[in-house]
Chains A and B, each alone.
Chain A
Amino acid sequence: MIWTKRVLTTNIIAYAALALLFHFAVDHAKVFDQRSKYLLGIFYNGYFKNYKDGVVYFDYMIRQQPGDPQNHANLAICYKELGDTKRAAK
């Protein structure tokens, strides 16, 4: 009984509860839509492309849609533009 209480009052139980709460309460598709639009907007902000923002954007897209080869290709272009040929080749 004491052990049960001890386990249930540890931080990790609270973290797990929060993770579950956020998993079920959040519409992840909507968040993805908002975040991707925002990052794309930052990448193409105003009159120029910033490849550092491009890396952040396409890396995010790869994490969300790993199967889309276009994102990998675009990320490689951004790295190449930034002079990071090693990462671009990867």
Chain B
Amino acid sequence: MSGILKFGLPFALWVFLLRDFVFGAIPVNMDTHTIYGVTKYYFNNLLNGVVPLWEPFVDLGRPFYALSICNLFNPVTQLVAVLKLLGVNYYAGFLAYLAAYFVLGLAGFYLLAKEIFKDRACAFWAYVLLLFSGLGLSIFTQMTWLEIFVPAVWFFYFCLRFAARPTPGNFLGLCLSLMIVLTSYLPFYFLTLAGVCLIGAFIFYFSNMVRFVRDAFRFLNRNRALAVVGLTGILIAAAPLAAYKMVDASNDIVSPGRHCPYSSAQECYERTMNKKGGMLYEEATRSGTLGERVDLGFLFTHLDKLTYGSDSPLFIPVFVFLLVWLGAFLRLSRPLALILTVAAVIALIALGDATPVHRFLYDYVFFFKYFRNLFFFSAFLIPLLVLFAVGQMKALLELKLGTTARRKAAIVGILVLHALFAAFLLRYDGVITATFATVIVSAVLFALYYGGVRLKTPVWIALFSAVMCVQPAQVMTSYAANAAEFKCVLPHNHVIPSFGWVRPDKPQTSECRIYQFVHYEDFWYAMSMTDAPARVGYPQAASRWVFDLSQKTDAATLARYGRYKIVVYDDANQPAIPLTEDSAAVRVKHFDVNQLVLATDLPRRMMLVYNDAFTGAWKVFIDGKSAQLLRANSAFKGVWVEPGAHTVAFRYSPWGGQGLYIFVTIVLMAFAVVTVGVLRKEKT
């Protein structure tokens, strides 16, 4: 009960401060909006009985490429579908999942801190500081941070546990974390962190690491069946990413789509044609670096002006910096030295082309060509800083002050350090009141603590926790107030998609300000399962042929032609006969996002063109028999149909098909259940 109260109170305060976001009055923005769009599209179709592999509504049809990188197969994400079945709408379900996943990450972070410091109070402070950091603030704009943070934190927790006690439960936990890493988002951020930690661990804990490796091999040798199970699980979890890579390498889509406008359409086109994966160095570092998103002054100033238009509220509670400063004259312990080193190296990498480190990795480590947005490393930097600060807190509170003279010296020292910190803050314009209040209250509390004031340990824990929350409370209140102008409702109802014969001329308008703010309308169409006008606005994973066509024709011509979804021709070079509704000649028998089945009864042999993007993974069947699918009118799908009654089925069938994703979801759920079961058994 006390545990629930202890952890529940700070969380309740967090919910209260961000209530407009948590309860849906202010819609999710930026990348979280994208992830919501993908999640809604996925589960909406899944509950219609279809695993969506194609998006026919935007860019004249394109692969549903985000399927593999939005955490959709995670057991926790299935909450969205469960809640929908219980009558909760998709948006509320998504917010519940978001909060639940954040709590899962916090729980992992608490356990990791407890494992590192062997101290419950420190672990609790780590929980509080992370809860009230930019990670907690960013989940409504940059959920990607959460997606890469949560499995990573559990991985390191199980790693430490496995090093101490190599048991089947800890091994399964490690494997499950890796499986989630592979199915959440691009695993390259995690790989970078894991690599840096591994090198750091060998430097700072060489003999321990040698022992760890020896014990791990011994464990795997003794538990070969378990090792095979773990490895198989990891390989299965990698399958969606492999499918993603196969679409990417198929020469059929613009890849990396979103970077094309940054370089040149021609270059992008040539790279796609030549099957050249990866990004140019300039593309990988042109934007999204850590230096772009944060500067020293930004960490302390204008924190009441954080707006909802920025996807990087890299906010770290001032108490973290204060602890780092207060511990300046203490001895650097080995665990903290490791944490500091890892944080420094990650920060250097995240600075992109502003340091030689990233260039070196880009040249010599293959996966650095496949990701950008280096500021996502903040998802690791914030927790690392919090861990370092909490370690300092532990050291500060464990100072041995036997004599009165030493106590007095400690009080003077701590007050001077606080004064110096306040003086540093005074250099800046726009430091909020709560920041100064935190420094003052912290000085008083430390002075009382060193002065020998006798209070029970839980009281000290509560007092220090309260100080940690003061500044974040003001920041979060301001953030919510600044975001109030964004209030609106996103698409959240269940949709059964219907086939539209004609694409609209003009875009749909939404009252949501976020659609005026960033060009994310595509996701609105996908969520609503409504056709967008025939255009290629933002060629993110657009079919290469459609993109090619959009480059070679003017927008008006493309819009005019792409307006009609079904067109028939008597012969090549004959005028198109657009069809605008069900008729005796062509009637829609079935439509879902992966396929279109038509009943035809044409008077003569005709070419039937489905004005939806062509890719090599599309197949066509006439009366159940495979027929030759032609690339018609540069970018679309066509097939010759004989006169008389026939059934023509266009189906999107990429590698793995729909079954792959269902299988991966089931495997992940089974793995999670078994892991939890084994861990519980080991505990008892």
Contacts and interface: CB of A to CB of B under 8 A. Distances in A.
B331 A9 contact: yes
Interface size range on B against A? 35 or more
B328 A59 contact: no
Contacts of A34: 287, 289, 291-292, 352, 354
B8 interface: no
Given A25-B356, A27-B353, 17 more contacts: A11-B332, A25-B355, A26-B351, A27-B354, A30-B353, A31-B291, A31-B292, A31-B295, A34-B291, A35-B291, A35-B293, A38-B292, A42-B309, A47-B517, A50-B307, A56-B301, A63-B297
Contacts of A9: 331-332
Interface string A27-45: 1101100110110001001
B309 A38 contact: no
A28 to B, nearest CB: 8
29 contacts: A9-B331, A10-B330, A11-B327, A11-B328, A11-B332, A15-B328, A18-B344, A25-B355, A25-B357, A27-B355, A31-B295, A31-B351, A34-B287, A34-B352, A34-B354, A35-B293, A35-B295, A42-B309, A46-B309, A46-B518, A47-B516, A47-B517, A50-B307, A52-B307, A52-B482, A53-B305, A59-B297, A63-B297, A87-B429
A67 B332 CA distance: 40
Contacts of A37: 292
A37 B329 CA distance: 38
Nearest to B375: A38
Interface in A1-35: 6, 9-15, 18, 21-22, 25-28, 30-31, 34-35
Nearest to B351: A26
B25 interface: no
Interface in B277-307: 287, 289, 291-293, 295, 297-298, 301-302, 305, 307
A34 B287 CA distance: 7
Which applies to chain A's interface (DSSP): helix, strand, loop or mixed?
Answer: helix
B46 interface: no
Given A18-B344, A35-B292, A53-B307, A60 B298 contact: yes
Among the interface residues A21, A37, A60, A63, which one has the most CB atoms of the partner chain B within 10 A? A63
A55 interface: yes
B467 interface: no
B348 interface: yes
B517 A46 contact: yes
Given A34-B287, A38-B292, A46 B516 contact: yes
B654 interface: no
A28 B351 CA distance: 10
A59 B429 contact: yes
Interface of B: 287, 289, 291-293, 295, 297-298, 301-302, 305, 307, 309-310, 327-332, 336-337, 340, 344, 347-348, 351-357, 392, 429-430, 482, 516-518
Contacts of A26: 291, 348, 351, 354-355
A11 B305 CA distance: 33
Interface of A: 6, 9-15, 18, 21-22, 25-28, 30-31, 34-35, 37-38, 42, 45-48, 50, 52-53, 55-56, 59-60, 63, 87
A59 B302 contact: yes
Among the interface residues B310, B331, B336, B354, which one has the most CB atoms of the partner chain A within 10 A? B354
Contact of A10 (B287, B332, B356, B518): B332
B329 A11 contact: yes
Nearest to A51: B305
Nearest to B290: A31
A59 B430 CA distance: 9
Contacts of B298: 56, 60
Among all A-B residue pairs, the 7 with the closest Cβ atoms: A31-B291, A52-B305, A34-B292, A12-B328, A38-B292, A30-B354, A46-B517
Contacts of B289: 34
Contacts of A22: 344, 347-348
Given A31-B291, A31-B354, A59-B429, A21 B516 contact: no
A11 B307 contact: no
Contacts of B482: 52
Contacts of B307: 42, 50, 52-53
Nearest to A17: B344
A42 B310 contact: yes
A46 B340 CA distance: 38
B340 A18 contact: yes
Contact of B517 (A18, A38, A45): A45
A46 B90 CA distance: 28
A13 B337 CA distance: 11
Contact of A38 (B287, B353, B430, B518): B287
Contacts of A56: 298, 301-302, 305
A18 B307 CA distance: 31
Nearest to A25: B355
A59 B431 CA distance: 12
A21 B348 CA distance: 10
Contacts of A35: 291-293, 295
A35 B301 CA distance: 16
Nearest to B302: A56
A87 B302 CA distance: 13
Given A38-B287, A53-B309, A60 B295 contact: yes
A38 B327 CA distance: 34
A6 B331 CA distance: 7
Contacts of B293: 35, 38
Nearest to A52: B305
Contacts of A18: 340, 344
B87 to A, nearest CB: 36
A60 B507 CA distance: 38
A21 B293 CA distance: 20
